[in-house]
Amino acid sequence: MQLEHPVLARALQPLAHTETEVPVVDPARGEAFAWVPRVTPEEVAAAIAEAARAQPAWGRATWAERAAVLARLARLMSDAAEDLARLITLEEGKPLAEARAEIAYARSFVEYYAGMGGTEIGHVLASPFPDTEVRTELEPLGVTAAITPWNFPSAMITRKLAPALLGGNAFLLKPAEATPLSALALSALAHEAGLPRGLFHVLTGGRNDAAAIGGALTSSPVVKKLSFTGSTTVGKLLLAQCADTVKRVTLELGGNAPFLVFDDADLDAAVAGLLVAKFRNTGQSCVAAQRVYVHASIFDRFVDALAERVARLETGPGLDPKNHIGPLIDARAVDKVEGHVEDAREKGARVLVGGTRIEGRGSFYAPTLLVDFSKDARLAAEETFGPVLAVRRFSDEAEVIAEANATRAGLVAYFYSESARRIARVSRGLEFGMVGVNTGLVSTAVAPFGGIKESGLGREGAREGLYDWTRLKYVCARYQEP
């Protein structure tokens, strides 16, 4: 693991040579290439205590001072962008071009919140009382914590870290066991940017350590907030654990995104948008298109164009620039994808492209296109989290909206149409926290990201993301002349 940036070389290079307890595995080769410490519950408690000691001084710093640290972190991320991208590809598997795009996306959150410093600290309101000022203030929560996933190992950190630090909080991070190096790299850069010690702790461990680390965070009365991105099952468990201490909780959980293509859509644009919405990160995304509905009048033309594009996708290690599709995160992920495809086949779906695992080193599955899937297929109700497109036809707008909404998830939906009236009507009818219209890419630092129903609580990004990392205080001050 060769790193060029001096800060990352100092912080991470020893991890490639010192075998401690937890291996980091390259999913393209199925081999460990680094090792990280296994943090104990006692060490988690010590980190919480250190964060509690460091946070008050940081909370008293001005918004401008905190924003300046974020601005320096953004510049360091830019300087180290190639190393950060290679780390993502090595530990998570996505193609290097996508990893570079993720680093730019991750940096955008840091830059956005650095630019917000001093602009969102509260409001003076029109007072109904004479000689009285009525105002609101945003204050730090104190010690906060986050548990992040492996599929976007840098962006899912900075989307939480940047507003947490701008808001004056200490930040404890439990990264996914598969992708700890990106977290350790961001921690090293944050401290190089001038973040005082004790404010950002990375708690690494293996799969069997997750419950103990998470339990130490959720049970601590010192930790005032937990933010989690991951599965709905784990999110519900963490929410229940946080109830005893009435923590602030932000959850970004699973999706089951429908992708609707109406008869007046730009067909070429819809195919291109669907490829982005489905195959980015090998389909391992909570906002990936899961169920595709195409109007019957254009179904055959759409599927023909889609099949031709899917068949051209190259699969292989992410460091090879010719590959569009990287490995799945591990063998269990391949088994799940294979199970979804076989279940869909048994229930009547036809495989037009792919439909097989790729044997050999690494955890690869061929880009796959299924048509005419059944409503009761597993992939209609569960996230596949892999490179599988499932398409069926529809004829009636109201019926397809009802079918799109027939899920316990409510993260994101997509649709393509050129009709202004239909765009307004369908946007209102879809029961999701986010809707992409004539685009397969909705995520941006300037917009609030999050879902409804069982897809989560709260929002990340934008000004709403800062509000979720601060507490609102109302002050009513009367000024009486003597």
Same domain, 428 and 344: yes
Same domain, 224 and 370: no
Same domain, 217 and 84: yes
Q: Is 480 contained in some domain?
A: no
44 closest CA partner among 167, 219, 190, 256:
219
Give me the residue label for tokens 């008869």.
263
CB atoms within 10 A of CB 382: 17
Same domain, 186 and 269: no
Element (H, E) at 374: none
Q: Is 479 contained in some domain?
A: no
pLDDT for residue 21: 85
Task: Give the domain CATH number at 10.
Answer: 3.40.605.10
pLDDT for residue 480: 78
Active site includes 43?
Answer: no
Q: Is 71 contained in some domain?
A: yes
pLDDT for residue 16: 65
Same domain, 62 and 187: yes
Task: Give the domain CATH number at 308.
Answer: 3.40.309.10
Q: Is 145 contained in some domain?
A: yes
Q: Is 1 contained in some domain?
A: no
Instruction: Dig out the tokens for 275 from the structure.
Output: 């490829």
Q: Is 482 contained in some domain?
A: no
Same domain, 177 and 279: no
Active site includes 242?
Answer: no
Q: Phi first, then psi: give them for residue 118, nearest 5 degrees.
A: 90, -5
Same domain, 203 and 280: no
b/e burial code for range 96-124 (CB count within 10 A of at least 16 → b): bebbbbbbebbbbbbbbbbebbeebbeee
Secondary structure, 3-state, 131-172: CEEEEEEEEECCEEEEECCCCCCCHHHHHHHHHHHHCCCEEE
- The total number of structural domains in the chain stands at 2
Structural domain for 170, as ranges: 6-254+454-474
Same domain, 309 and 221: no
Same domain, 426 and 297: yes
Catalytic residue of the set 286, 383, 403, 454? 286
pTM: 0.96
Same domain, 459 and 434: no
CB 214 within 8 A of CB 238: yes
Residue 413 sits at the vertex; the CA angle it makes with 411 and 417, to the nearest 5 degrees, is 165
Q: What is the pLDDT of residues 310-336, one digit of tens each?
A: 999 999 999 999 999 999 999 999 999
pLDDT for residue 14: 73
Same domain, 247 and 262: no
Q: Is 481 contained in some domain?
A: no
Catalytic residue of the set 102, 177, 252, 460? 252
User: Along the 482 residues of the chain, how does pLDDT read in single tens digits?
Assistant: 789 999 999 989 877 666 668 999 999 999 999 999 999 999 999 999 999 999 999 999 999 999 999 999 999 999 999 999 999 999 999 999 999 999 999 999 999 999 998 677 788 999 999 999 999 999 999 999 999 999 999 999 999 999 999 999 999 999 999 999 999 999 999 999 999 999 999 999 999 999 999 999 999 999 999 999 999 999 999 999 999 999 999 999 999 999 999 999 999 999 999 999 999 999 999 999 999 999 999 999 999 999 999 999 999 999 999 999 999 999 999 999 999 999 999 999 999 999 999 999 999 999 999 999 999 999 999 999 999 999 999 999 999 999 999 999 999 999 999 999 999 999 999 999 999 999 999 999 999 999 999 999 999 999 999 999 999 999 999 987 76
CA–CA dist 198, 182 (Å, integer): 19
Same domain, 436 and 329: yes
CA dist 118 to 107, 159, 161, 166, 375, Å? 20, 19, 17, 9, 50
CB atoms within 10 A of CB 320: 12
pLDDT for residue 346: 97
CA–CA dist 8, 296 (Å, integer): 53
Q: For the chain, how many helices (H) and strands (E)?
A: 16, 20
